[in-house]
């Protein structure tokens, strides 16, 4: 893991270290490229593969989904649906899921916006109607770990928003994931994954209904597929590997900082774990502690690869500079391990979620606090928001003018329409003036 000192290498050099690759810059491993050659007959890029899959699913529906699921996942499918009534789970896990679900539901209920109407002039009115989406698709990845928490985070806000139908696609029928979906209120589950699942939800097939929006994380192929279908339906965001950035002063506990770095590193070899501290001594202690804690992790190979590739400790001259570096990085998760974390809060402008103090670690938000853990990555927290209830809502404007108020506004409307060269717009007002 690298340790860099801003006083020695300069601000620009530190920012280069903090610059993350975009989701579409991820290089495919030699193993994946070789497998793709066998499937597609040539060494295609990730986007070329995704475009072919999306195009085929759009044209051929279930037949293409079945074909690609067999070729890519080695699974032969006929009926995609999972029977909800057959889902079972251990009582202990179910109990914890219920606690998490209630916290998530309570938090997101507070986010609900309201429709409103305001009167203008003589009984004319303007307003806004808040309308839930009709049908939403949730993608849940398979891979090396199961994520029932992500299921709750995606489905419950949609239910709170009032979405009429929620479907879920997952290539790994993990019983805990399925139980979480059932508990959260999913309507249908389909056991397919990858780009073919995204395309199926975006365009609809014989078995899978077309959705208005797709949410949920996935690998590079899933993310590129979401980008490819955007416009045919909406998506939540284009998410990359998980990341954490920790601002730590000289009093921070190195054991906590190291543990929190590893909590993200174990996700994926591409995950990013960064500490920005004002203490060189603490930087050395954190580095040593990471090495020690790694030895005991069941997923140590993944975590070690992540720390080796994307682990970084920056020594900043003060907390103001640390905040500047954090805002430049715009991390998915930002922890403030400082003596006065709330004093730091006004300085933070870009982060998916902010965890204040030593006893608010990132896993608290991942599982039980109730806040959402579907967050912008790769620096996109500069312009993206956390997934929330409004992700599943539309805003529609309401306009109703009386005859008198329209006539009072007619001259200005006609003036503006003619200034734009849109005479038919102006005539639509004039016709009403003539008749009246």
CATH number, residue 127: 3.40.50.1980
Report the distance separating Cα 261 and Cα 329, nearest Å. Answer: 16
pLDDT score for 174: 84
Q: In this predicted structure, which of 24-38, 170-184, 334-348, 402-416 has the lowest mean pLDDT?
A: 24-38
- Residue 342: pLDDT above 80? yes
Helix 280-294 / helix 300-310 crossing angle, nearest 10 deg: 150
> How is 293-328 classified by DSSP, letter by letter?
HHTT-TTHHHHHHHHHHHEEEEE-SSHHHHHHHHHH
Instruction: Give the mean pLDDT of the chain.
Output: 94
- Residue 22: pLDDT above 80? no
* pLDDT tens column, 91-129: 999 999 999 999 999 999 999 999 999 998 778 999 999
Of residues 11 and 226, more confidence is placed in 226
C-alpha dihedral over 299, 218, 101, 130, to 10 degrees?
A: 160
Looking at the structure, tell me whether residues 98 and 227 fall in a common domain: yes
* pLDDT tens column, 149-158: 999 999 999 9
State the pLDDT confidence band at 86, using cuts at 50, 70 and 90. Answer: confident
> How does DSSP classify residue 80?
-
Residue 280 appears among annotated catalytic residues: no
Looking at the structure, tell me whether residues 260 and 375 fall in a common domain: yes
Looking at the structure, tell me whether residues 232 and 245 fall in a common domain: no
Whether 260 maps to a domain, the answer reads yes
Of residues 85 and 275, more confidence is placed in 275
* Overall number of domains in the chain: 4
Burial class (CB in 10 A: 0-12, 13-18, 19+), 259: middle
- Residue 239: pLDDT above 90? no
Whether 19 maps to a domain, the answer reads no
pLDDT score for 145: 65
Looking at the structure, tell me whether residues 147 and 226 fall in a common domain: yes
Report the distance separating Cα 37 and Cα 259, nearest Å. Answer: 39
Report the distance separating Cα 41 and Cα 364, nearest Å. Answer: 45
Domain assignment of residue 225, given as a range: 81-237+389-394
Whether 25 maps to a domain, the answer reads no
Whether 190 maps to a domain, the answer reads yes
State the pLDDT confidence band at 436, using cuts at 50, 70 and 90. Answer: low
Whether 16 maps to a domain, the answer reads no
Helices first, then strands: H and E counts in the chain: 18, 15
Whether 168 maps to a domain, the answer reads yes
Q: Which two tokens stand for residue 331?
A: 């991390």
Residues, the chain, total? Answer: 436
| Contact between 194 and 132 (Cβ < 8 Å) | no
Looking at the structure, tell me whether residues 211 and 351 fall in a common domain: no
State the pLDDT confidence band at 147, using cuts at 50, 70 and 90. Answer: confident
Looking at the structure, tell me whether residues 328 and 346 fall in a common domain: yes
Looking at the structure, tell me whether residues 249 and 207 fall in a common domain: no
Looking at the structure, tell me whether residues 126 and 219 fall in a common domain: yes
Looking at the structure, tell me whether residues 298 and 313 fall in a common domain: yes
C-alpha dihedral over 286, 291, 293, 299, to 10 degrees?
A: 130
pLDDT score for 88: 86
Spatial CB neighbours of 41, under 8 Å, sequence gap ≥ 6 = none
pLDDT score for 144: 60
Q: Is 420 helix (H, G, I), strand (E, B) or coil?
A: coil
Burial class (CB in 10 A: 0-12, 13-18, 19+), 210: middle
Query: What would the mean pLDDT of 39-61 be, rounded to a whole number?
Result: 94
Looking at the structure, tell me whether residues 244 and 336 fall in a common domain: yes
Residue 333 appears among annotated catalytic residues: yes
Whether 12 maps to a domain, the answer reads no
Annotated catalytic residue, options 108, 333, 335, 373: 333
Annotated catalytic residue, options 228, 266, 289, 332: 332
Looking at the structure, tell me whether residues 107 and 136 fall in a common domain: yes
Predicted structure pTM score: 0.92
């Amino acid at each position: 893991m690298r340790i860099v000192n801003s006083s020695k290498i300069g601000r620009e050099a530190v920012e280069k270290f903090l610059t993350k690759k975009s989701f579409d810059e991820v290089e495919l491993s030699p193993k994946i490229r070789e497998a793709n050659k066998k499937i597609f007959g040539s060494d295609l890029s990730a986007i070329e593969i995704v475009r072919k899959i999306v195009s085929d699913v759009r044209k051929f529906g279930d037949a293409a989904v079945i074909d690609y699921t067999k070729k890519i996942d080695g699974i032969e499918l006929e009926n995609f649906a999972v029977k909800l009534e057959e889902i079972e789970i251990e009582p202990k896990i179910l109990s914890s899921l219920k606690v998490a679900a209630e916290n998530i539901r309570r938090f997101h209920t507070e986010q609900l916006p309201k429709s409103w109407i305001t009167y203008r002039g003589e009984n004319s009115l303007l307003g806004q109607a808040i309308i839930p989406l009709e049908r939403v698709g949730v993608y849940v990845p398979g891979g090396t770990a199961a994520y029932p928490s992500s299921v709750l985070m995606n489905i419950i806000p949609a239910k709170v928003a009032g979405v009429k139908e929620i479907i879920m696609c997952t290539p790994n029928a993990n019983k805990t994931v399925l139980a979480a979906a059932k508990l959260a209120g999913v309507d249908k589950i389909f056991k397919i994954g990858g780009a073919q699942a995204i395309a199926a939800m975006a365009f609809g097939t014989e078995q899978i209904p077309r959705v208005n929006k797709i949410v949920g994380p996935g690998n590079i192929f899933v993310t590129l597929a979401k980008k490819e279908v955007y416009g045919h339906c909406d998506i939540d965001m284009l998410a990359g590997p998980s990341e954490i950035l920790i601002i730590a002063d000289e009093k921070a506990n190195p054991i906590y900082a190291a543990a929190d770095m590893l909590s993200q590193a174990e996700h994926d070899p591409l995950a990013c774990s960064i500490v920005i501290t004002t203490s060189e001594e603490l930087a050395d202690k954190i580095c040593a502690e990471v090495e020690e804690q790694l030895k005991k992790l069941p997923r140590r190979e993944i975590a070690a690869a992540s720390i080796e590739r994307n682990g970084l400790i920056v020594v900043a001259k003060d907390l103001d500079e640390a905040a500047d570096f954090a805002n430049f990085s715009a991390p998915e998760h930002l922890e403030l391990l400082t003596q006065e974390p709330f004093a730091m809060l006004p300085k933070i402008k870009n982060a998916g979620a902010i965890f204040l103090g030593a006893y608010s670690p990132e896993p608290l938000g991942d599982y039980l606090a109730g806040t959402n853990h579907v967050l912008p990555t790769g620096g996109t927290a500069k312009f993206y928001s956390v997934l929330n209830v409004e992700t599943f809502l539309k805003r529609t404007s309401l306009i109703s003018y009386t005859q008198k108020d329209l006539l009072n506004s007619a001259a200005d409307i006609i003036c503006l329409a003619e200034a734009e060269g849109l005479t038919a717009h102006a005539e639509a007002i004039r016709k009403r003036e003539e008749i009246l």
